[in-house]
Structure 1
Amino acid sequence: MHPQPLVIDAHHHVWDLDVRDQDWITGEELAPIRRTFTLDDLAPEARTAGVGATVLVQTVTVAEETPEFLALAHGSDLVAGVVGWTDLTAPDVAGTLAALRSLPGGDRLVGIRHQVQGETDPEWLLRPDVLRGLRAVAAAGLVYDVIVRPHQLPAATRAAELLPGLTFVLDHAGKPPVALGTTRPWADGLRALAALPNTVCKLSGLVTEADPRSWTVEALRPYADTVIEAFGAGRLMFGSDWPVCRLAAGYAEVLDVARELTGRLGEDEQRSVFAGTAQRVYGLRPPSLRPGCAPQA
């Protein structure tokens, strides 16, 4: 019997409301996820789904969160990488990144993210102080996760053009308007970004961009097909977006949907989407592949 291929979940979150409020979780629609979610909650779902390693991604623009996430990763046999947050406009981004790497779990810092989707300036990524910070991210050998809405894709594209030495990872496929059933101008912006060699995309978050109560795989397919065509399997990675995905689907269901949406790809291409791209782009060393660590049963 052949072992199942390693699956990497390249995008999930955790939060503890007793430690810090998540002020974005407001209103009736988000009420189901307004509670604490921990790695202990995630682990059994991930293991049951065949996921052997994950990337833990920032949720709030609070400096204390990243050291907390690194500490969680340090004590975890599941979290292989952390995408944290730092103030890109601060004068000493390089020093801050070096300090983070010196902490317990600092070896698992693989990227930085800022909630650009919440910025009112559609060209926030092109501000001189932000570009200076992004250069420091590149110099540190980290990647930059881009969380933007469709109207912000042109600025992300221009930033990627200006910084060819930095890998830009587009979260949630640029948040396409699935619920509206339209593809433009999102698709145009996505293709322009994908035309740059230093860009990668996450096949994640689609179920919550649709109507969470009535989505179907076929409704998601035009958006997934656009992403696959634009980036190719070698620059595409699966992410669950747990626990946000729970607004529309459970962990295993999200993985099953991603497999169905990529079902037309060959075996090698699917291995890229579900592990290889994340491992290469983030430089991950999943716990099961580290020296002296036996794979989990």
Structure 2
Amino acid sequence: MTARLIIDAHHHVWDLAVRPQPWIAGEALAPLARSFMAADLAPEASAAGVVGTVVVQTVCVPEETPELLALAHRSDLIAGVVGWTDLTAPDVADRIAELRELPGGERLVGIRHQVQEEPDPNWLLRADVQRGLTAVAEAGLAYDLVVKPQQLPAATIAASRLIPLIFVLDHFGKPPIATGALEPWADGVRRLAELPNTVCKLSGLVNEAAPGWRIEDLVPYADTILEAFGSQRLLFGSDWPVCTLEAGYGEVVRVAEHLTDALGPAEQEAIFHRNAIRVYSLQVPACYSARKISSPARRS
């Protein structure tokens, strides 16, 4: 692995003293039922060579995104925020504009909704959601897709209708690694990847695998994604602290390095930092200046 400068394009933080996380329920998720703060992540990220991150929303409430923006505003590590706003609201464009006026608002780089929790597999195709996605595109933001395999067909149709909007598939689209099955997940991600406005995060794999997973269990899924999206449309993300259910932060980085170790240096650099900068229009961390890696202009 040669791309030792890393941007972690997907992690979370939460403070249970401020807000509960209703999705943390049951014995399997019990280790997550505590606060995970940016200060907890910082030393682990530094040890792994991570110089910038993108923090991603966890709950669909309007109060969380301003808090994440304020956190990014105070942070030397968090370069971008993928927040939440109600896509179905008639004034969604105004709501996005208001978020950008807040402290840290310049670090709003994307929007996400917990589509995986929607009972309607075609939720992304609803007229009010499509209107909201159009507002996201017009604001120059990306849209993170957190979907299950059965929701991939609707995600593909939605992306085909909104070519100006970059759709970022989180966690490989949650493949059924624990069962070892590839289809119909593989067909779904290949169809999504045919669209030029789609990219994918190398994230969340250890949580989709069975307990006691081995790196070999992940390889067929990583190979499928690399073939479908290519190295120029793949971004590394840790999914910390959710990943800690199965692996520590450093181990998740090493897994991603192993899954991409057959690639050349330029392809590895793309996956581990350049693509995140491009897709999310991130403000480049100061330590990049020595490498003369410039940040693209913000989309308008």
Normalised TM-score (structure 2): 0.94
How far, CA to CA, are the matches of 1:264 and 1:96 in structure 2?
A: 44
Q: Deviations over 1:53-85 (max 9, x none)?
A: 000000000100000000000000000000000
Q: How far is the alpha carbon of 1:285 from its aligned partner? A: 1.1
2:3 touches 2:265 (CA, 8 Å); kept in 1?
Answer: no
246, 249, 256: which is aligned to 1:248?
A: 246
In the superposition, relative to structure 1, how do residues 122 and 220 fare at CA in structure 2: closer, same or farther (>3 Å)? same
In the superposition, relative to structure 1, how do residues 146 and 4 fare at CA in structure 2: closer, same or farther (>3 Å)? closer
Q: How far is the alpha carbon of 1:114 from its aligned partner? A: 0.1
* Superposed counterparts of 1:1-297, under 5 Å: 5-211=4-210, 213-288=211-286
How far, CA to CA, are the matches of 1:286 and 1:234 in structure 2?
A: 18
How far, CA to CA, are the matches of 2:274 and 2:249 in structure 1?
A: 20
1:245 touches 1:254 (CA, 8 Å); kept in 2?
Answer: yes
In structure 1, what is the equivalent of residue 298 of structure 2?
Answer: none
How far, CA to CA, are the matches of 1:144 and 1:281 in structure 2?
A: 10
Structure 2 stretches lacking a partner, 5+ long = 290-300
RMSD of aligned alpha carbons: 1.2
Q: Secondary structure at the match of 1:219?
A: helix
Q: How far is the alpha carbon of 1:287 from its aligned partner? A: 3.1
Q: Deviations over 1:6-48 (max 9, x none)?
A: 2100000000011000000011100111100000000000001
Q: How far is the alpha carbon of 1:288 from its aligned partner? A: 2.0
Structure 1 stretches lacking a partner, 5+ long = 292-297
Q: How far is the alpha carbon of 1:269 from its aligned partner? A: 0.2
2:69 touches 2:107 (CA, 8 Å); kept in 1?
Answer: yes
Q: Deviations over 1:146-179 (max 9, x none)?
A: 0000000000000000001100000000000000
In structure 1, what is the equivalent of residue 293 of structure 2?
Answer: none
Q: Secondary structure at the match of 1:80?
A: strand
